[in-house]
C-alpha cells in the first residue's frame, strides 16, 4: 500500500476511505460555495432554497446564506432557519443568553458587561474549530454565524473544510496523521473564573470520527490554554496544519459578511480578521452565533 491510499487509524478500511475521499473531491469539482443562497422567508424556506443549501453542505460542510433585509437583525429568524435544517439541540456557554444565542460584539469598552474572551473584542481570532474544549456529550457539530451589522472595516472570516485538510495531510504527510488522532494529543486545562471552575480539564484528539462515520476536528492555534502532547510526531503534525492554513488553498473561503448574511457549517475551521467599528455604539459590528449538537445534512 503506498502513501496515496494509506489513511489513518480512524479509517481502518482503505476501501471505505478511498470512496469517501473520492466523493469529497468530486463534490469540490462541481460548483463553488462563494455565493450566498438567498432566503426570502427564514420562517418558511422554499424547497429550492433548502435543496441548494443541503447540496452545498453535503459537498463542502458549509453554506453561505443571505436573508431578506426584513430579517437581518432577528436572532429568532436565524434560529427558525436552523431548525428547518434539522439543528435543534443548541449548546450554550457562559456568554450566551438563555436562548443560547451569543451576541458577538466588541465589549472591551462596556464597563457593565466586559468579557475576558477574545471573540468579544475587535482583535483577530486565529484558526480554530468551535468548542474544541467541549466533552463528547456536548460536541459542537455545527454552528451558524450571522451578521446583523458589519464593522466599519475588517472583520472578515476565512473558512477551511477540515475534511479537505485531512485529505491534504493524508496525501502529503500520511505518517503524521495518526499523531492527530491520539486521544490525548490536546489538553485544555480547567477554566477557573473568580475561584469557580467554569469548565473541567479536557483531553482529546484533533481528528476523530463520530458514530455515523463523519469526521470531527478539534483544533486551535491559540498558544495559551492548550497543551499539545510532547512528541516529535505531534509537533510536526501541528506545524504542518499551521503551514497549510497559512497558504492560499483553493478551497479556502474568505468572506466579509454583510448585514443579513451568514455562515452555516459543520464546525469547520475558521478565523477572523481584526476590525474597526463605527462610532455610535448602536451601529457597531454585531454577529449572532448559535452552536448545535447536530450536524447539518
Block residue for cell numbers 460584539? 105
| 163 part of the interface to Fe ion, by CB under 5 A | no
Which of 49, 130, 161, 163 forms a contact with Fe ion (CB under 5 A)?
A: 130
Among the residues of 115-261, which ranges form H helices? 162-172, 174-177, 232-245
Query: Angle at CA 153, nearest 5°, toward 150 and 158?
Result: 75
Residue 52 or 289 having the CB closest to Fe ion: 289
Reduced to 3 states, what is the DSSP secondary structure of residue 75? helix
Residue 130 or 161 having the CB closest to Fe ion: 130
**What backbone phi and psi angles, to 5 degrees, belong to 288?**
-100, 135
| 106 part of the interface to Fe ion, by CB under 5 A | no
Query: Angle at CA 238, nearest 5°, toward 236 and 244?
Result: 100
Q: Across-strand partners of 159?
A: 253, 270
CA distances to 6, 124, 187 from 191, in Å: 38, 22, 12
Residue 66 or 289 having the CB closest to Fe ion: 289
Residue 130 or 261 having the CB closest to Fe ion: 130
Binding to Fe ion by CB under 5 A, coded x per residue (else -) over 15-54, reads: ----------------------------------------
Q: How many residues does the chain have?
A: 297
Residue 130 or 277 having the CB closest to Fe ion: 130
Binding to Fe ion by CB under 5 A, coded x per residue (else -) over 217-256, reads: ----------------------------------------
Q: Residues interacting with Fe ion, by CB under 5 A?
A: 130
Amino acid at each position: 500500500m503506498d502513501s496515496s491510499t494509506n489513511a489513518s487509524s480512524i479509517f481502518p478500511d482503505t476501501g471505505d476511505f478511498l470512496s469517501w475521499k473520492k466523493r469529497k473531491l468530486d463534490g469540490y469539482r462541481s460548483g463553488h460555495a462563494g455565493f450566498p443562497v438567498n432566503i426570502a422567508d427564514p420562517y418558511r424556506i422554499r424547497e429550492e432554497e433548502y435543496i441548494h443549501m443541503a447540496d452545498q453542505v453535503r459537498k463542502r460542510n458549509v453554506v453561505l446564506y443571505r436573508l431578506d433585509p426584513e430579517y437581518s437583525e432577528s436572532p429568532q429568524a436565524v434560529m427558525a432557519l436552523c431548525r428547518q435544517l434539522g439543528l435543534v439541540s443548541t449548546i450554550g456557554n457562559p456568554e450566551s443568553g438563555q436562548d443560547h444565542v451569543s451576541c458577538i460584539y466588541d465589549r472591551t469598552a462596556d464597563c457593565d458587561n466586559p468579557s475576558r474572551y477574545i471573540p468579544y473584542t475587535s482583535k483577530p481570532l486565529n484558526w480554530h474549530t468551535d468548542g474544541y474544549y467541549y466533552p463528547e456529550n456536548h460536541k459542537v457539530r455545527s454552528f451558524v454565524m450571522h451578521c446583523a451589522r458589519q464593522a466599519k472595516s475588517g472583520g472578515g472570516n476565512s473558512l477551511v473544510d477540515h475534511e479537505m485538510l485531512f485529505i491534504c495531510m493524508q496525501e502529503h504527510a500520511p505518517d503524521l496523521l495518526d499523531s492527530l488522532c491520539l486521544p490525548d494529543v490536546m489538553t485544555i486545562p480547567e477554566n477557573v473564573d473568580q475561584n469557580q471552575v467554569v469548565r473541567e480539564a479536557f483531553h482529546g484528539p484533533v481528528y476523530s470520527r463520530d458514530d455515523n462515520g463523519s469526521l470531527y476536528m478539534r483544533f486551535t492555534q491559540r498558544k495559551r490554554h492548550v497543551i499539545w502532547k510532547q512528541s516529535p510526531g505531534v509537533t510536526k503534525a501541528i506545524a504542518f496544519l499551521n503551514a497549510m492554513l497559512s497558504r492560499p488553498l483553493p478551497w479556502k473561503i474568505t468572506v466579509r459578511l454583510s448585514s443579513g448574511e451568514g455562515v452555516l457549517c459543520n464546525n469547520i475551521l475558521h478565523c477572523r480578521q481584526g476590525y474597526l467599528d463605527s462610532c455610535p455604539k448602536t451601529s457597531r459590528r454585531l454577529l449572532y452565533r448559535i452552536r448545535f449538537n447536530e450536524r447539518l445534512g
